[in-house]
Structure 1
């Protein structure tokens, strides 16, 4: 059985997803955008072993607490696609533009590419490269449980914005058409919402 817990962080209401395998208690944290202490408190509520941090893309509200948490738990940072390298290298500039406290530049321990598989215990997540919101945006598809961790490709009743550096509206539409709309209709996706929820699958 797979579990997930969504924690909405930062003033931008970004969904950080804690996912884990019930059999092995192995867990991953997806898009820890900020509020590192709060995320630690949430993670430590559960009887799990965090083994990795996964990033869907390089925007500050999805990566802000990554380094702090990676050091705290002694785990690697994986993803996004290497096309977002420039974003992670320029995090201080992103912070300046949005008026945020400085987030220092970093690079992940490994990049992700379309077709890669991330194992979290017995659970498998297939990586789909979905550029447009950012050049290196990826989403995570669990084919068995039939759900996707979407990042910012789709929002509730909308799509990700494309007016930030590296964004491209046509490329985003192509990603949605070619990578997502070709999937089965019974797949659930996590998109940005405005409430905390805790689901069990």
Structure 2
């Protein structure tokens, strides 16, 4: 079934570097024992600095590669709320062992793009509890200059 034939919605994003994930949907659906789905091509790819409106809220798009090469997060400056997906978690960071993932890129994106948003920014991760960037700056072991020895 062609999803575009049953909806008037535009498919927006992700960042173009994640296109290979969308093209791999048929194989991924078979791998998980699901009905095969067709590859998707967005009507518009998201890019760093884009703005996406959801109702009355406008979200800024930040490209934060590492978990995947095209991972994006969404920031609402007015409410100081970040939708971080699988980039950062309370006490952790996203996996980078997926195809084209890169742990160093992930940490760099967090330090260069997310932490400068401010300590008071609350983030909603893809899994687990909410946290703030300030708490993670101080307590997240992946963001410290020296990793703890376990």
- Bucket of the pairwise TM-score, normalised by the shorter protein: 0.7 to 0.9
Runs of at least 5 residues in structure 1 that lack an aligned partner in the other structure: 1-66, 196-201
TM-score, structure 2 as length reference: 0.76
Counterpart in the other structure of 1:112: 46
Counterpart in the other structure of 1:93: 27
Q: CA RMSD, aligned part only?
A: 2.3
Counterpart in the other structure of 1:76: 10
Counterpart in the other structure of 1:177: 111
Post-superposition CA distance 1:97-143 (Å, at most 9, x none): 45554332111110011001112233210000000001111000000
Higher strand share: 1
Q: How many residues are aligned here?
A: 129
Runs of at least 5 residues in structure 2 that lack an aligned partner in the other structure: 130-150
Distance (whole Å) between structure 2 residues aligned to residue 112 and residue 170 of structure 1: 22
Task: Say which one has the larger Rg.
Answer: 2
Distance (whole Å) between structure 1 residues aligned to residue 79 and residue 6 of structure 2: 30
Give secondary structure in 2 for the equivalent of 1:172. Answer: helix
TM-score, structure 1 as length reference: 0.58
Post-superposition CA distance 1:28-84 (Å, at most 9, x none): xxxxxxxxxxxxxxxxxxxxxxxxxxxxxxxxxxxxxxx987654420111111011
CA contact (8 A) 1:148 1:188 kept: yes
Query: Greater relative contact order: 1 or 2 (C-alpha under 8 angstroms, separation 6 or more)?
Result: 1
Counterpart in the other structure of 2:146: none
